[in-house]
Every structure is written in structure tokens, then in C-alpha cells.
A and B are shown apart, each in its own frame.
Chain A
Amino acid sequence: MPSRTRPIDRVAAAAARCSKEGATYGKCIVADYNNVHKDKCLTEFLKLKECYLVSIRHGSN
């Protein structure tokens, strides 16, 4: 059996630790989802990504 964790599992775990930022980003998109354009919620996404990058680095150690 493969004992190593798959990359997708690490991504899922890291994303789950950023649920607060994820919710903020989701709310920003869903608030007006008929009118989404590129980088509509850039600041919220950057916060989410920053948290995710920190989280995935900690998760791998």
C-alpha cells in the first residue's frame, strides 16, 4: 500500500487550515456572482494564498 500522502491530500489539509480566509474570499465572490471579472477579489485571494503557503510549509515538516 502507498504509505506516502498524495500531494492533493497535503493541499486539502493546508486549505482546510485557512478556512477563515477561504470564507472571506468566497463571500467576496458570492456577493455578486453574476458579475465576476479577473482579479475581482484579488486582495482576499492574496490573503488566502499567503495563509495557504505558510500552512503547507508547516504541514510538510
Chain B
Amino acid sequence: MNTFSIRAFIPPLTLRFIPIRATRRYAVQAPGAPTFEIFSHQHKWMQKERAAADAQTSRNVDYLRDEVASRLCERLLDINRHFPHVLDLGANACNIARMLTLPSEDSPDAGPRSKRISKLTAADSSETLLHRDADLPFNNEIEIYRKVLSAPETLPYEANTFDAVLSSLSLHWINDLPSILSQVNNILKPDSPFIGVMMGGDSLFELRTSLQLAELDRRGGVSTHTSPLADVRDVGGLLQRAGFNLLTVDVDDIVVDFPDSFSLMKDLQAMGESNAVLAREKGAIQKDVLLAAEGIYRELHGNEDGSLPATFRLIYMIGWKPSPNQAKPLERGTGMFSIKDFLENEKNEEGGGDK
């Protein structure tokens, strides 16, 4: 039987808005654990495009992404080697690239941080957001290529391509984290690092709890307004499962104070970080609930000076692709001297020395 598809007549931009499910295809599922679809990629893409279309507002809310990208770059600089080709996965507005062109906060005179990076590829699914800052002067200071990903969970790169992969604040919208991490492991050269940071754990717990209480009182039930997020203990397991070695995972809390809960939600929207959970309630949130949540937020979490804190919990992760000549941890029980003696000696020398 002939199937007639109208897909060919739809202009490419609107094509992205139409669910893939509207077309007929063979359903193929990879063997192994079934993948859960939690986030709507189409919706996320649309939010990012809309947010980036208003460039000025979008730049005003870059404070969080810039700070996080800057901290991520510091971690990259801790690795003392040259990186010929680096991938920035989920680049948003190329915040990492801009932060790399600035000098390090610890040594402002040492010149830009990008000295040790020859070529940076920035990949993101949202074209408007990715090219938002393409005309700014920092683009001339670093060799940067922008790549629009047509499918955010499939990386179009050959194995052993990159000398490092960075990812800042975009992994929390990925449905299948184990798969994307394995792909990252695959495209890395042996003995190369993956350095990522994602929202996790108790991010925005203040907003989450006040919306829940407000909905319970106003409507008698709770619906999803904030994403489910990975926890710190999950991340270690995920990296290990993807085949990374020498893992480092640490947590950083950034607390931002807002004048009211409406400005927090407005900023999140301008970042393109609104709710994109598939099971969310469609349509706008009720005004009654917003009004109630504002009162509860202020009462439950508010600061003494009248501002409202919002916690962003960032999980930094570093993993290395295995290689035969990589430094390995020693066998248990092979230590030749006690770390306690070493630290005590160090303290005594500092205390009794010239200082």
C-alpha cells in the first residue's frame, strides 16, 4: 500500500515543530535496557530558539552559564597539556568559548585561557542560540566552529576525533545519559578527558516545594513543574558504565537571590530552561497557583532582606578514556609509606621553619 507523506511539503523550520511520530517508520529499538523518554526535545528546541531570538534579554541572563563555564575552564586548565581539538557538547550560546578567551581569575596577566586549545567545535541543537554571539569580537580570538546537531542525542563524529570533550549545563535535558556518555567516550582519543557539568540533585528545590504546596492547596494535587534531575551518586555510576577511568565528581552550589519568584521564572524562561518534561501539564500555569506560590516561597525560604534565594546545584564530572599507558591506581595494600606521617611532617616543617 502506498503511504502518502506530507513531510516533503513542510518548510524545514516548521518541520522541527511537528512530532516525528507523525511519519511512519520501522520501529527499531536497540537491545538492552529500554530508554525512557522524559524530556521533549522538540519543545526544548523551541524554547531555546524563542529565548535566543531576543538576543539582548538572552544575554542578560547569561550570568549563570558564564560563571559555570568559567569554573569549567579552570578545571580544563588544571590538566597540563595541549589540546589540538576540543568539542563543546551542548554549547548553548558558546559560553565556554567566550570564557576561554578571557584570562584566568587566578592569574589575570597570563593572557587568555585558550592558549592551550587550537581548535574548538561548539555543537548545539538550537541554531539561533548557537549563532547568537557569532558577530562578537571574541570569535576572532579563538578558532571556533559551530555545528548544529540535528538530533541532540546522536553525535555525528568519528571515533577517536577529539582531545577533550567539554559540556556545560546541557546534559540535564538528555533522555538517555548512558548512551550519550558512551558516545562521548567513543569520539575521544585514548587517554583524553571528558569534563562536564550538569544541574543536579536539589537544584531549584525552593521553587519546586513552593509550587507543590501551592498546587496542593489550590488544586488538590501536584503536577510536574521542574525536571527530575540526576543525583551526585548516580553520576559516578553513569561515568563508570560509559567506560571512563579515573573519575572525579564534585558538587558546587550557586545561590542566586531574586526579588520575587516571578523574576526567577522569567529568567529561567529567557535562558530557554523552562519545563520540557513530556508528562507536564499542557498550557500555562494557573495564576492562582503563581500567586499562592509567591506567598509560600517568601514565607518558607525568603531571606531576611526580602529577597528569595534560588539554589543551583552543579555536578562537575571528569572522566578519562582508558588507554594502556595511562597512569593507573596502585593495588590496594601496596602503599610504602603512611600519608599520616607525610602530612604531619609537612605541618611541623611549616610551623617550625622560617615562616
Contact = CB atoms under 8 A, between A and B. Distances in A.
B48 interface: no
Interface in B216-234: 216-220
A33 to B, nearest CB: 6
A38 B294 contact: no
B291 interface: yes
B262 A29 contact: no
A21 B296 CA distance: 11
Nearest to B306: A19
Contacts of B300: 26, 30, 33
Interface size class of B (residues with CB under 8 A): 20 to 34
A30 B262 CA distance: 20
Contact of B216 (A15, A21, A25, A37): A37
B207 to A, nearest CB: 14
B219 A8 contact: no
A33 B213 contact: yes
Contacts of B218: 38, 45
A22 B262 CA distance: 14
17 contacts: A8-B262, A12-B260, A12-B263, A15-B262, A21-B295, A25-B292, A26-B298, A29-B292, A29-B296, A29-B299, A30-B300, A33-B213, A38-B216, A38-B217, A40-B216, A48-B292, A48-B295
Interface of A: 1, 6, 8-9, 11-12, 15-16, 19, 21-23, 25-27, 29-30, 33, 36-41, 45, 48-49, 52
